[in-house]
Amino acid sequence: MHHLEYIYTVGMDRAEVEAALEQRTDGVLSLARDSEAYAIPVAYYFDGDALYFRLGRHDESDKLAFADETAEACFVLYDAPSPDESWSVIVRGPFTRLSADDRPDDAEINEAYTSLRVFGETVEDIDPVFYRLDIESVTGRRTS
């Protein structure tokens, strides 16, 4: 181990973490069902207190099956622009599906989120479902 190369990291302060969450649009959402994990790249919206996710519902969706069974989710946002420079933010907290009454309207959705990625389905077959991750803990690290 003495011959391995290392890069030191430091904790990000609250302003750095919030700036990363506000400036980015996509990250990795980790869900769990029983002892099985499921992680997906996903767009999000940060309102200062919670993260919101829009997932496309279609006939056989693993992500919705996992999302509906996940009580606490983990979200990872990161970048490594060079081999010597990187940062990451990890958010954990309760994960809940929003009711139809709490869902944003189409104009709010289009402003808050990047375009919904469609993979082989027809647009008419996709019904967006919204989830909220209440930020219970957040950790940010960056290279020093």
Domains in the chain: boundaries? 9-143
pTM: 0.86
Residue-wise pLDDT for 7-64, tens only, equals 899 999 999 999 999 999 999 999 999 899 999 999 999 999 999 998 877 556 788 8
Class (C level, CATH) for 9-143: mainly beta
Burial class (CB in 10 A: 0-12, 13-18, 19+), 115: exposed
Could you report the per-residue pLDDT of 54-65, keeping only the tens digit for each?
887 755 678 888
Coil, helix or strand at residue 47: coil
Q: Is 129 helix (H, G, I), strand (E, B) or coil?
A: strand
- On average, the pLDDT of the chain sits at 88
